[in-house]
């Protein structure tokens, strides 16, 4: 059964990850809180790494101070749908690892600087560049061996 599981990645505040019991929420109109039918996340692959960047850095204005209070959460589970922001919604079967978010944040910032000087890239923007170089991030977080 476990061979059919997919691997997902997300960012969480340290201490907030609940594994199998985790359920993501989002704000509605008038600051009402709604819950997703699972966990908001991204597939652990090049596109997922780029989409994670786009959401946290471009939309949520995640910065180094935030990264110091957050963790990378990698888990195995089943996709059950899509969330309110177009992300994947999954159920957790098993937590694979939890790492300091500074690991991915610092690499994102390194890639952002490198993008400006890379004359050989075909990427049109930083999100595409991160997807193009996601293997570096996957190797850094130990996800390069995980098939999705």
Across 80-109, b (16+ Cβ under 10 Å) vs e yields: eeebeeebbbbbbeebbeeeebbbbbebbe
* Cβ–Cβ under 8 Å, residues 96 and 5: no
Query: Residue 147: inside a domain, yes or no?
Result: no
Query: Residue 38: inside a domain, yes or no?
Result: yes
Query: Residue 146: inside a domain, yes or no?
Result: no
- CA angle (86 as vertex; 97, 137 as ends), nearest 5: 35
Structurally, how many domains does the chain consist of? 1
For the question of whether the overall pTM of this predicted structure is more than 0.75, the answer is yes
Query: Residue 26: inside a domain, yes or no?
Result: yes
pLDDT averaged per 10 residues, the chain (length 148): 83 83 52 69 95 91 94 95 87 94 96 93 94 94 64
pLDDT at 27: 47
């Amino acid at each position: 059964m476990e061979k059919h599981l997919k691997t997902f990645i997300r960012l969480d505040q340290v201490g907030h990850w609940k594994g199998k019991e985790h359920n993501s929420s989002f704000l509605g109109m008038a600051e009402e809180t709604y819950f997703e039918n699972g966990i908001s996340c991204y597939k652990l692959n090049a596109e997922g790494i780029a989409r994670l960047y786009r959401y946290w850095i471009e939309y949520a204005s995640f910065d180094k101070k935030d990264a110091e209070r957050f963790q990378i959460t990698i888990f195995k589970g089943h996709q059950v749908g899509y969330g309110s922001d177009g992300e994947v919604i999954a159920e957790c079967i098993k937590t694979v690892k939890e790492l300091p978010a500074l690991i991915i944040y610092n690499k994102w910032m390194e890639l952002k600087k490198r993008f400006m000087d890379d004359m050989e890239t075909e990427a049109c923007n930083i999100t595409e560049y991160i997807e193009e170089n996601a293997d570096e991030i996957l190797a850094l977080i130990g996800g390069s061996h995980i098939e999705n």
